[in-house]
Amino acid sequence: MVPFALDRAAALILEIAGGTGTKGRIDVYPSVLPEKKLTITAIRTNDILGLKLEILEIQRLLRSIGLGVEPASDRPDEALYVSIPFFRHDLEREVDLIEEVARLNGYDRIPVTMPSSRMVCHRPPSHQRLVRRMRDAMVAGGFSEVVNYSFITPSAWDRIGLQIDDPRRQNVKILNPLTEEQSVMRTSLVPSLLETASRNLSYRCRDLRLFELRPVFWPLAGKELPDEKLRLTAVQCGRREPEGWAQGKENVDFYDMKGIVESLLKAFMVDNVTWDGEKSEPFLHPGKSCTLLQDGSILGTLGELHPMILKGFDIDLPVYLLDLDLEAFFAAGGECPRFRSLSRFPDVSRDSAFLLDESVSAQQVFDVLAKAKSTYVEDIVLFDLYRGKGIPEGKKSLAIRVRYRSAEKTLTDEEINAIHGKVVAALSKKLGAEIR
């Protein structure tokens, strides 16, 4: 029938349109194509579709679209042999037949279920949790994090005034540096952060609170890879409060940065810290900086940047810097704080003013008080420093408030006076303090 129809169509074309006919016919399928057979099982169909179809229902659905379906009697499972017609070239695999079953049965009948799986919660390592807490603490203090390149120029150490023999000048060199400005790996975050602060100040961003929490890289003799140590460096300058008609106009000072450090010490349970004003960094102002110590170990430094360093970075206002060795800082921290119920008994405060030599620092006073501290001493606060009229030359007056409280009873005046007398005696013996 098909050859006759082709010959008749060709004759009509020659009669009406003209032309010359060619000999023979062109047949795309000159031979009979083999019949394609696929296998479909009820188990596989129901697993994929999430249904519970019987094998007879699957057979009925496939036969409804002209497919030849026969039970697979030679198989132990519920299976069907499906003969694929020549016009269904899209049916090549079992999953194609399953798709037809889903379409014929109705997509709306496929149940919507959440896949079940076992979720295992892994807690981050303790060091990673500490780093995250440190970042959160700095952001809570109003600081914004910056991320600078870990590569730096060797001349950066001259800009922050490091001595020639300073170990931070021993850098890991890059084999194929992009430029001389990025030819070594940094051993300090200070130059990069000051460069960032200088750039922001040149854009008229005068109120800055920036920090960077990144590793620094120290070369190790005889080893291919450097030693990575985590550090935190922060700078702040400008107004203490956001600009506004109801806000103060005071600028930040040394004690703002010191307050940030004290909040970190409290958050990470770092106790027995000494503020040493005699030790400092070459890039900090010698009279407005200090080193943070615990049992002789250096935790970090903070203070106002030296005017010469500010000039080298084209900065025209005071900038206060904090540089912490986080490896040492985390190691100095205590365990997670535990709740201790508040005492039901009242506290009693005693204020005393002491005449001391000008050379005696407040830290020395606190060290003596810490050693003479009674179990009833709850807090010690230095609340006044006075020099001037009535104070001899070379002397100064420090006023200290000591708060006493017992968790078991109400302290009597006699008990408090006896304890406070020991505190005064310790200061007199150790530092030559005179009660005013």
Q: Which residues pair with 81 in a beta bridge?
A: 39, 70
Does any domain span residue 23? no
pLDDT interval class at 32 (50, 70, 90): low
Which residues touch 2 (CB under 8 Å, ≥6 apart)?
Answer: none
Please state, in angstroms and rounded to a whole number, the distance separating the CA atoms of residues 434 and 114. 78
Any idea what the CATH number is for the domain that residue 303 is in?
A: 3.30.930.10
Does any domain span residue 24? no
Give this prediction's pTM. 0.66
Give the count of domains, the chain.
3
Q: Give the type of residue at 226.
A: P
Does any domain span residue 25? no
Domain containing residue 320: 126-332
Segment 244-299, tens digit of pLDDT: 777 778 899 999 999 999 999 999 999 888 888 888 899 999 889 999 998 888 99
Run of H or E including 230: strand 227-237
Which residues touch 252 (CB under 8 Å, ≥6 apart)?
Answer: 236, 237, 238, 239, 240, 320
Provide the strand spans (E) within 35-105.
Answer: 36-41, 68-71, 79-84
Nearest to 317 by CA among 375, 434, 237, 257: 237
Q: How many CA atoms lie within 13 A of 323 on its CB side?
A: 25
Q: Which two tokens stand for residue 408?
A: 């078991």
Which residues touch 19 (CB under 8 Å, ≥6 apart)?
Answer: 13
Q: What is the pLDDT of residue 335?
A: 67
Any idea what the CATH number is for the domain that residue 85 is in?
A: 3.30.56.10
Does any domain span residue 1? no
Based on the domain organization, do 231 and 287 belong to the same domain?
Answer: yes
Eight-state DSSP code of residue 432: -
Tokens 């005179």, residue located: 434
Say how many Å lie between the first and final Cα of the chain, rounded. Answer: 129
pLDDT interval class at 73 (50, 70, 90): confident
Based on the domain organization, do 135 and 231 belong to the same domain?
Answer: yes
Does any domain span residue 211? yes
8 A C-beta contact, residue 226 and residue 170: no
Does any domain span residue 2? no
Does any domain span residue 255? yes
Segment 376-421, tens digit of pLDDT: 888 888 888 888 888 888 889 888 888 888 888 888 888 888 888 8
Please compute the mean of the pLDDT values over residues 328-342 and round it to a whole number.
Answer: 80
Phi-psi region of 269 (alpha: psi -120 to 50; beta: other; left: phi over 0): left
